[in-house]
A and B are shown apart, each in its own frame.
Chain A
Amino acid sequence: MVVTTTWYLVLAAVLFSMGSVGLLTRRNPLVMFMCVELMLNAVNLTFVSLGADLGDLGGQLSVFFVLVVAAAEVVVGLAVIVAIMRRRPGATADDLSVLGG
């Protein structure tokens, strides 16, 4: 049995969908962040798979930059969560409706 690129892409699609469902259903902001990480990993998997399929290093280069941006995003997002949680312990995503008008 030969592992083709389609296998990886289907796995990444399933992983991405699971991450999006988690992002839509969970209410703890930290767990929502973890679901965003799941989706980012699914996209990274597609980058590497298509790069391997085309014999091009561009996919892995993109993953490198996605990793950097994800790390920066996590740092800033967790700082925001810390700032919110310090004001309102136990706040969920539903409580943060100040900007909602």
Chain B
Amino acid sequence: MDAAVFIVSAVVVLTGAAGVLVARNPVHAALFLVQTLFGVAVLFVLQDATFLAAVQVIVYAGAVVILFLFVIMLLGVDRAEDLGIEPIAGQRSVAAIVGASMLGLLLTVLLVGVDGPTGARGANAALGGAEDNTRRLGEALFTDHVFAVELTALLLTVAVVGAVVLARRVRGPLQPMPVVTVASATGSDDASATGSDEATATGDDPAAEADDEGEAG
């Protein structure tokens, strides 16, 4: 029974991951990611980690992927990406080699190198069954690891503030991109310099204006 559940959820997880890799449309990739996350949640249940399975579904599939979809829809980047072109020559083959060697290394370590995990069994907190998993997790979190929990609260606050600062719409005219800023700054600094520099600066201006137009549109 366990083996059947494991095999089915492993297939679900791996097909979802493959879908994320090859989906041309980002929306499809997000939906394949949901499939993988649900499969991992099933594997958590199979290992009696019921609380984490619930959190996996609620936080990952419920919040993170919805956030992804919000951003995709908000930015209108849901058009298909052409996977046929390869901007950096040999990138795909090198990535495949890197991934295959990483997998080979991991499998070698797992299957040949070590004989199971090392360490004391149940050293920190004993693992209960599925029934009292949430209670034990809560007790461990709010007694032994309460300082770390406080730190996660701080981290989440910092993340929220950072996200608001990063994503807020700037008032007034849009600032140019850093590349353009560097070019125009050089132009204004060398305003009294030779004519060739002037020519370069004015030569850069149409590009900057075109950039501004693109931002306005």
Contacts and interface: CB of A to CB of B under 8 A. Distances in A.
Contact of B52 (A7, A20, A48, A75): A48
A63 B3 CA distance: 23
Interface in B72-131: 72, 74-77, 81, 87-88, 91-92, 94-96, 98-100, 102-103, 106-107, 110-111, 116-117, 119-128
Given A38-B36, A57-B140, A71-B64, A17 B102 contact: yes
A94 B86 CA distance: 11
Interface string B135-151: 01100110001001000
Nearest to A31: B29
B3 A1 contact: yes
A78 to B, nearest CB: 5
A30 B127 contact: no
Given A8-B47, A52-B47, A57-B140, A75 B159 contact: yes
Given A21-B96, A61-B140, A78-B163, A45 B68 contact: no
Contact of A85 (B36, B75, B160): B75
Interface in A55-89: 55-58, 60-61, 63-65, 67-76, 78-83, 85-89
A68 B156 contact: yes
A59 to B, nearest CB: 8
B114 to A, nearest CB: 10
B55 A94 contact: no
B185 interface: no
A14 B76 CA distance: 32
Contacts of B120: 54
Contacts, number: 249
A6 B125 contact: no
A38 B65 CA distance: 12
Contacts of B215: 86-87
B18 interface: yes
A44 B39 CA distance: 13
Nearest to B107: A13
A20 B95 CA distance: 8
Given A28-B26, A31-B81, A82-B74, 6 more contacts: A16-B106, A24-B98, A31-B29, A64-B141, A79-B164, A89-B75
Interface of A: 1-3, 5-11, 13-22, 24-28, 30-31, 33-35, 37-38, 41, 44-45, 48-58, 60-61, 63-65, 67-76, 78-83, 85-90, 92, 94, 98
9 nearest A-B residue pairs (beta carbon): A24-B95, A21-B99, A72-B159, A79-B166, A13-B106, A57-B125, A17-B103, A79-B163, A1-B3
